[in-house]
């Protein structure tokens, strides 16, 4: 063996050692500081602009499931997503989120009810994640509509975990992460149909659940203002504290629960400039804004611009742990640095795995993402 060859082998061996030590220094994430990146926000938040140092996990939102074949489909920008965001944080992990609020719930139900379709779905999802170097998969099926569909969801998670473990053993790579975005409460009634998530399967098969602790109020009720992500509500169970407790009481260990926080607010037109609190009479949803482009919604970046430009009054409501601002007839409910810091403290006190934001592209100069990360570390 030639000397140079020998040196090369030594070098490679050292590199293998240090490269794996380097990977190990990222470690298994001890907590989750996640955010979803909606691919339709690429025009103002391309992956290269994401300040990935603020997050442990970034979720690509969303991949679609084909309604005929039940395969998860390739999307634009998936190929370079992981390597691009890792330039600012080599340890950040990426997941593909499948589905989303606008996706077809019936198609997911049809997939989940049939073992062959479940297998096709699972196989295509794993292949897609591996093809593009993602670290995991996330299911955002909004929402299984009855008890049968919830049972099928439990079967899907169990078969998915099994397939992930098999793939890991045969490829020799760490298993893909598996998470799901879920309703703020473990049990709920919508359109008169009661349903509960399959807690035993979730606890056994998922790495964690992303609990969507927001959208408690919105443009579907224009009669009054509301704190759409209130931590506490003394008059109802529609609150983050109630939702998180319901998940833990259902048997999901707190260290598998990740609390969602919004990077957007909900706006209303007030009925009277004299009544400006939470629950004040309103007459309409607030006007459409440039980026959020939907009446009744304002991104946090739009809210901070609005406060700067109009000198709106901002109030941190310690009772609900939420923030609102108003000027003239416009009222917006949201989270600011104070409410985010208090919520993160709550999540830590409850022993939760971490938090996530919807959505990465709505923050104002990374302000709330930074506050959350620092608050978690304190």
Ligand X SMILES: *[C@@H]1O[C@H](CO)[C@@H](O)[C@H](O)[C@H]1NC(C)=O
Q: Is residue 151 among the annotated active site residues?
A: no
CB closer to ligand X out of 145 and 219: 145
Among 6, 22, 67, 204, binds ligand X (CB under 6 A): 67
Q: Confirm or reject binding of residue 310 to ligand X (CB under 6 A).
A: no
Binding of ligand X by 65 (CB under 6 A):
no
Task: Tell me the two tokens of residue 92.
Answer: 């950040």
Residue 318 within binding range of ligand X, rule CB under 6 A: no
Pick the closer one to ligand X by CB: 236 or 378: 236
Of 76 and 309, the one with the shorter C-beta distance to ligand X is 309
The residue from 91, 109, 200, 284 that contacts ligand X (CB under 6 A) is: 109
Say which of 22, 142, 151, 319 is annotated catalytic: 142
- For residues 135-194, which are near ligand X according to CB under 6 A? 145-149
Spatial separation of the C-alpha atoms in residues 219 and 202, rounded to whole Å: 32
Dihedral pair phi/psi, residue 10, rounded to 5°: -60, -45
User: CA 168, CA 43: separation in Å to the nearest integer?
Assistant: 36
Number of other CB atoms surrounding residue 208 within 10 Å = 24
**The binder of ligand X chosen from 171, 223, 237, 377 (CB under 6 A):** 237
Contact (Cβ atoms closer than 8 angstroms) between residue 37 and residue 47: yes
Nearest CA to 214 out of 196, 240, 242, 185 is that of 240
Considering beta carbons, is residue 247 or 358 the nearer one to ligand X?
247
52/270 with CB nearer ligand X: 270
**Which run of H or E residues covers position 298?**
strand 297-299
Nearest to 183 by CA among 191, 195, 173: 195
Supply the DSSP symbol for 268.
Answer: E
The CB-of-149 to ligand X minimum distance in angstroms stands at 6
106 is a site residue for ligand X (CB under 6 A): yes
- Identify the three-state secondary structure at position 165: helix
Q: In terms of Cα–Cα distance, which of 141, 303, 142, 175 is closest to 228?
A: 303
CB of 213 to ligand X, least distance (A): 16
C-beta of 290: minimal distance to ligand X in Å? Answer: 4
Min dist CB 81 to ligand X, Å, is 27
**What binding mask, one character per residue, do residues 258-277 give for ligand X by CB under 6 A, x or -?**
--------------xxx---
Place of tokens 């482009």: 293
Extract the tokens encoding 44.
């103002």
Token readout for 10 is 């030594």
Distance of alpha carbon 331 from its chain centroid, rounded? 26
- Active-site residue numbers? 142
Summarize as ranges the residues that interact with ligand X (CB under 6 A): 67, 104, 106-107, 109-110, 145-149, 236-237, 272-274, 290, 305
């Amino acid at each position: 063996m030639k000397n140079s060859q020998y040196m090369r082998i030594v070098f490679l061996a050292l590199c293998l050692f240090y490269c794996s030590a380097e990977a190990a220094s990222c470690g298994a994430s001890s907590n989750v500081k996640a955010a979803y990146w909606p691919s339709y926000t690429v025009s103002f938040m391309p992956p290269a602009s994401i300040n990935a140092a603020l997050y442990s996990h970034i979720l690509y939102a969303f991949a679609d499931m084909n309604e005929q074949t039940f395969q998860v489909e390739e999307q634009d920008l998936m190929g370079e997503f992981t390597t691009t965001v890792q330039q600012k944080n080599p340890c950040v992990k990426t997941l593909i989120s499948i589905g989303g609020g606008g996706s077809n719930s019936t198609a997911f139900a049809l997939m989940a009810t049939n073992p062959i379709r479940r297998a096709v779905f699972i196989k295509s999802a794993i292949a897609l994640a591996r093809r593009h170097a993602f670290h995991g998969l996330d299911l955002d099926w909004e929402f299984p509509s009855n008890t049968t569909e919830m049972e099928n969801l439990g079967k899907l998670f169990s078969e998915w975990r099994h397939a992930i473990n098999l793939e890991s053993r045969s490829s020799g790579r760490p298993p893909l992460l598996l998470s799901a975005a879920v309703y703020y409460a473990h049990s709920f009634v919508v359109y008169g149909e009661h349903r509960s998530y399959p807690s035993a399967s979730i606890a056994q098969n998922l790495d964690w659940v992303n609990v969507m602790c927001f959208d408690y109020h919105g443009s579907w009720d224009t009669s009054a203002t509301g704190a759409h992500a209130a931590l506490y509500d003394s008059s109802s169970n529609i609150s983050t504290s109630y939702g998180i407790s319901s998940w833990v009481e259902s048997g999901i260990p707190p260290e598998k629960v990740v609390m969602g926080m919004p990077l957007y607010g909900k706006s209303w037109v007030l009925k009277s400039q004299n009544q400006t609190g939470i629950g004040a009479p309103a007459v309409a949803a607030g006007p459409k804004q440039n980026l959020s482009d939907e009446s009744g919604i304002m991104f946090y970046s739009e809210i901070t611009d609005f406060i700067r430009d109009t000198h709106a009054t901002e109030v941190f409501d310690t009772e609900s742990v939420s923030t609102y601002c108003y000027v003239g007839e416009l009222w917006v409910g949201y989270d600011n640095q104070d409410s985010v810091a208090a919520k993160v403290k709550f999540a830590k006190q409850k022993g939760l795995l971490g938090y996530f934001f919807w959505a990465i592209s709505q923050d104002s100069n990374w302000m709330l993402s930074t506050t959350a990360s620092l608050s978690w570390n304190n």
